[in-house]
Amino acid sequence: MLEAPIQPRTYLFVPGTRPERFGKALASGADAVILDLEDAVAADDKAAARQMIANWFMGASPADRSRIVVRINDAESTWFADDLRALREAGASSVLLPKAESAQQIAETKAALRNASVLALIESARGVVQVDTVAAAGASRLVFGTLDFALDLDIDMTSDASGLAYAASRIALASRVAGLPTPVAGITPQFDDPVRLLADLAVARGQGFGAKLCIHPCQVEPIHAALRPSAEALDWARRVIAADAASPGAARLDGRMVDRPVVLQAQRTLGLARD
């Protein structure tokens, strides 16, 4: 059986108008880098940013290109068609679609980009209500746009994020039912507050998320460190796999039966053991 591809744990945003930062972002240790054509780019700069990204793609190595996701403008915007055209010509293989709210938007994006990977950014009430349809329409991964969602529903996030819990659960369930990777949690805007960053990550992990958006390179390594299994967890996982290999279906370890869910959990733990 083929192993599932390793999914990014971190996605680092870089404004599309700052090509001098593209290489630095790739060298930051982030698993993936999002070149942004949407919120980080003023309306008058959209065309220039689009060209800067296209130019970068022309000279980039295949390895670097494979780690790039481009956040395009949403399907209702006046820039959507131009974004798709430019990225198709540049050969982009992955995009982040903001304000994803329908299967049609996913299908249109994939068709225009010759079936490139489309990450769907769920960031509105309509997007959450339609998330099952979006997930089943060919999205490669769901991403929770927490700030825009909170704005859409007028949720005060200064004290806690409890108002996001229902939407987060819907996104996680839709991902699981559609057979998608664990979804990506939204940004922590306080990039100089590692305590808040890890607290946000812990909440997201408890809701079924397995990755996180980043707005600064300093957020990358703390997230990776928090997601790595401990030495004790890795030792347990290795012993489970060994016990199951020695006595498939009838193994015991530490006084407990090693049944299929235990083996699968051990495999998942070992799969998280990376730098």
Longest dimension (CA), the chain: 66
Residue 149's pLDDT is what? 96
CA angle 144, 147, 153 (to 5 degrees): 95
Structural domains of the chain ordered from first start? 10-227 (3.20.20.60), 231-271 (no CATH)
CA distance 54 to 104: 26
**Residues 181 and 155: beta-carbon distance below 8 Å:** no
Q: Is residue 208 packed enough to be buried (19+ CB in 10 Å), middle (13-18) or exposed (0-12)?
A: middle
Q: How far apart are the first and last CA of the chain?
A: 25
Instruction: Give CA–CA dist 96/37, Å, rounded.
Output: 10
Q: What is the CA radius of gyration of the chain?
A: 20
pLDDT in tens, the chain (275 residues): 334 568 999 999 999 999 999 999 999 999 999 999 999 999 999 999 999 999 999 999 999 999 999 999 999 999 999 999 999 999 999 999 999 999 999 999 999 998 799 999 999 999 999 999 999 999 999 999 999 999 999 998 876 678 899 999 999 999 999 999 999 999 999 989 999 999 999 999 999 999 999 999 999 999 999 998 777 867 777 887 887 787 777 777 787 777 777 877 777 777 777 66
